[in-house]
Each structure stands twice: as C-alpha cells, then as structure tokens.
Amino acid sequence: MTLRVDYRASFALVGTVVKWLSVPLVAPLLVAVYYGDGGIAAFAATIVVAYAAGAALESVGDVEDMGAREGFLMVAATWFAVSLVGALPYLFAAHGVPGVVEASAPSSALGHPVDALFETMSGFTTTGATVMESISFDTHSHAILLWRQLTQWLGGMGIVVLAVAILPELSVGGAQLMDAEAPGPGIQKLTPRIAETARALWLAYAGITALEIVLLYGLHVGGLAPNMGLYNAVAHGLTTLSTGGFSPEARSIEAFSAAVQWLIIPFMVAAGTNFALFWHVLQGEHDHLFEDGEFRAYVGAVGVVTAALAALLFTGPELGLGEALAPISGHLEPALRHAAFQAAAIVTTTGYASLDFTAWGVDAQFVLFVAMFIGGSAGSTGGAVKIVRWVVIAKALKRELFTTVHPDAVEPVRLGGNPVDEQAIRGIYAFTAVYFACFVFGTAFVVLDSTHIQNFSILEGMSAVAATVGNVGPGFGVVGPMNNYQPFTDASKLLMVGLMWIGRLEILPVLVLLTDAYWRS
C-alpha cells in the first residue's frame, strides 16, 4: 500500500524554516560583537550550518498541495529541527568551532548534547526549565543568554505561524500549518487570508513585547529599577510575552524591585490572553474582550488563585508556613504582590518567580500545583490544558447531569453563545485524557529513574513532569525556581525533552504520526 503522506513536501518546508532561522541568529551575533565576551564564532558557525542544512533539506521536494497530513508532519518536524539547530551555539560555545579559536569566551555548562538540546527545546517551547547550574555573565556570554531568551520569543506565538506570516512559499496550506501548531483547539481566522491573520497575530505580539521593554527600561531610567538596564529590559520583554520565563538573572524576577514585579504581572496576564482579542480591540471592537466567555473564565481563574495564595501568605505563621515568610506574613502589599505574581506566572505557564515559592507551606504549594494544569487561553502563548477546555468540560458535565434527569432534552454545549461541535467536545475529552496519561507515565518514569537524587520526593517528580508537559518551567524542591533540572539522568532529560515537544504541540498532532492510519489509510 502506498503512503498517503507527501513527506518530501513536508521536509522541504522544514528546510525553508530552518534556512530562515539563520536570520534571528544574527541578533546574538551582533550582541557578541558589541560586548566582546564570546560567542562570535559560535553564532557565525551556527548561521552557516542553519542556512546550508535548511537549503539542502529544502531541495528534497516541491510543495504543490499541503493537506492536513503534511501539515502535522511539517509542524512536528520543524519544532524538533529548530531545536537541534538551536542547540549548536551552546555546543560551539562550550567546545569551540572546529578549526576556529575564539579568545576570551566564557566557559559553558551546556557542552553536553543532551543538556544543550534540553535547554533549546525548553526555550522554543517556552517551557523555561533550565539545566544551567549557574546563570551569570561569568559563565555565559551576553550573546548566549540573549539566544536563550530569543528562542522563547520565537517559539511563543509559533515558529510556523511566523513563517506563514512572512514566507510566501508557506502560504500554500497555511491554514493547515497554523491549525497544527496553534495553541488551543483551533485558531480564529481574523482576515480573509491566513497569511494576513498570521501577520496580525505576530504584530500584536511584537507590539506588546515592545511596549513592555519600553516600560521596563523606563522604570530603570526613572530610578525605580536600578538593575533593569536595556539588556535586561529586552531579555525580560522577550520572555514575558512568550510565557517563557528564562531570565539572565539567577534569581529570576526576585532580583528586581517591587515596581518591576508589579509591572510584569499585567503583561503575563496579557500573554495568557487570546491574541485575537487584542486584534479586535485594535479594530475598535472593545466588546469582544469582555463578552468573551473564555477570557472571563481565564481572568476568574487567575483571580481565584491569587486570592487563595494571598490569604495563605498573609496569614502565614498561623498556617505553619515558616520563618521564610516573615517579611510577607501580616503585610498586605507583599502578600498581594507575590500572590498575584505567582498566580499569573503559573496559570499562564510563564514560570517566572518573584521569590522562592518552595519555601511556602504545603497548602500554598498545592494551590500552585493545581494551577499548573489550568493554562492560558486558546490563541495565547500559554501552555498546559488551556482554560477553554476546562470551560467546555465543565459545561459538558453540566449537560450530562441535566440530560440524566431529562433524557429527551436536546441541550447543546455553548461557548460564547455558539454551540460547540460534538466532535470538538470529544477531541477535548481525548486531549485531556492523553495529557494526564502522559503526566502519570512521565511521573512514574522520572521518580523511578531519580533514586540517585537525595531525598527526591514523588511531589518533586510530579511537579517536574507537570512543568515540562505543561511548558510551565519550575516545579518544587530540586526543580524549584531557584534550582535546575541538571540532577536528572540523561534518560529523564530526554523524556522531558519529548514532553516539552508534544506539550507545546498539544500532544495529538505528534501522536497521530505514530499511527499506521496516518501514513497509509
């Protein structure tokens, strides 16, 4: 039986994206030249490899017709391919470029291929989990750390969505590509042409990123954020709107003033909002934002988590949260600030930390653990299950209870006043079931494979897996916000690389590639 998938066309488009990945690689190359602290040869060599490998792959086939099958393969392969290429700067920085000597380059902790792949996959999927044991300019150049941030920004709105927006050759089958990559159950078509929709989403994304960078640097100029210089402002703008969470500061956002923390909160909330709503607002259709049922549920979820955490932090000593919270307990402003910050960071899967929440008590950590599964809106840069799926599941459950009492009633599930297709509901059930199956399997594997880590608990294993498959980033204990994923074995790291990959692509588009029906029937 012949194959039903034109894999050559899919791989040719993968090559196109990989080839054009050489363009954003120029930014860290220029930073390396400016700061002179290493990375010039590493990024120059990666640009050459990306262009040459992409061009070679591009030549394997021609794109005549892009169907859904080819779209699934192209999107899944693209994310893995760009992660492989994106790992090269770390490896070149650690070991040097063959035949090239680069003077005064800081040593790199990412010289192991598995670690480099982990860091890059974590970047492009906007997970924010890191294997870097030391995050500083003493161990990594400005260029390397900027590339780390830039991978998250590129992956936030979607590499393929960006490619559809700017590359004419990807306009063929652009709708299939965006549906396969877009976070959430489907993507809203904003304009008659799908390429224009992709550009609209990316312009909104880039515009809000630029606004945050300007405001962060403005705090620095105004004396409210002494260490938020231009480099840090750019780095955190890139990793907030992407819900990424990578920071060039080892202590994440704890390293900055309360003013910075308050400013980042609304931008994290914006990053977890469906970007199509911002497009409607810019068109003067402001009612779309507040009439959107998913947006109201999303804001409500962030509010509930914030309120629960604020209550626990404010009354800390009485609930046994310990001396670590002495500066917070009984003080309204820090309790509200840290509660709102961590609620937004975890629900939207940004993964920033305004302090080490592993010092919080069991109750507060439980709230954060549950929040890891909520996720942002469909069409946002957030990960996890997504709030729209929880809304549909809740309404479908309510309907089941109603039809149990009234078996002859016809009661469609409605979202935003419109009935939800029954096939879409079944898809949401399937996704959620597979999501938690991956979580259970991953937890079992990681816990059994981590007996070498002293005092490693099941909760730490659960949080590590939830944080990777949900693209959240930090977990608890050994993988807490001030720690890293370095203690895990290569086997566990590779499993988490896979979890980050399928989590960003929402699992089913990747798993369908493993079925015989996809290839032959």
- The predicted model gives 423-446 an average pLDDT of 93
pLDDT for the residue numbered 275: 84
pLDDT tens track for 329-381: 778 899 999 999 999 999 999 999 999 998 888 889 999 999 999 999 888 88
What is d(CA 261, CA 352) in angstroms, rounded to the nearest whole number?
A: 10
Which residue in this structure is represented by tokens 């294997």? Answer: 131
Kindly indicate the confidence band of residue 420, based on its pLDDT and cuts at 50, 70 and 90.
Answer: confident
Bridging pattern class, strands 414-415 and 418-419: antiparallel
Burial class (CB in 10 A: 0-12, 13-18, 19+), 436: middle
Buried b (16+ CB within 10 A) or exposed e, 348-387: bbbbbbbbbbbebbeebbebbbebbbbbbbbbbbbbbbbb
Which residues lie across from 414 on neighbouring strands? Answer: 419
Supply the DSSP symbol for 107: P
Band of residue 382 on the pLDDT scale cut at 50, 70, 90: confident
Has residue 66 got a pLDDT over 70? no
User: Where are the extended beta strands (E) located within 157-230?
Assistant: none
Do residues 513 and 72 touch, judged by C-beta distance below 8 A? yes
Q: Decide if 377 contacts 274 (C-beta within 8 A).
A: yes
pLDDT band, very low/low/confident/very high, at 103 (cuts 50, 70, 90): very low
Write down the residue that tokens 């670690």 correspond to: 115
pLDDT at 404: 82
CB 239 within 8 A of CB 247: yes
Segment among 11-20, 267-276, 385-394, 414-423 with least mean pLDDT: 414-423
C-alpha to C-alpha distance for 117 and 95, rounded to whole angstroms:
15
The C-alpha atoms of residue 292 and residue 470 are separated, in whole angstroms, by 24
d(CA 357, CA 153): 25
Residue 116 has pLDDT above 50, yes or no: yes
Per-residue pLDDT tens digits for 448-483 = 999 999 989 999 999 999 999 999 999 999 999 999
- pLDDT tens, position by position, 212-266: 999 999 999 999 999 999 999 999 999 999 999 999 998 999 999 999 999 999 9
pLDDT value at 491 more than 50 = yes
Q: Tell me the CB-side half-sphere exposure of residue 482, using CA atoms within 13 A.
A: 10
Burial of 85 (0-12, 13-18, 19+ CB in 10 A): buried
Q: Mean pLDDT: which of 2-6, 61-65, 74-78, 299-303 is highest?
A: 299-303
pLDDT in tens, 271-311: 999 888 888 887 878 777 888 888 999 999 999 999 999 99
Give residue 107's pLDDT: 47
Q: How many residues does the chain have?
A: 521
**Mean residue pLDDT across the chain:** 86
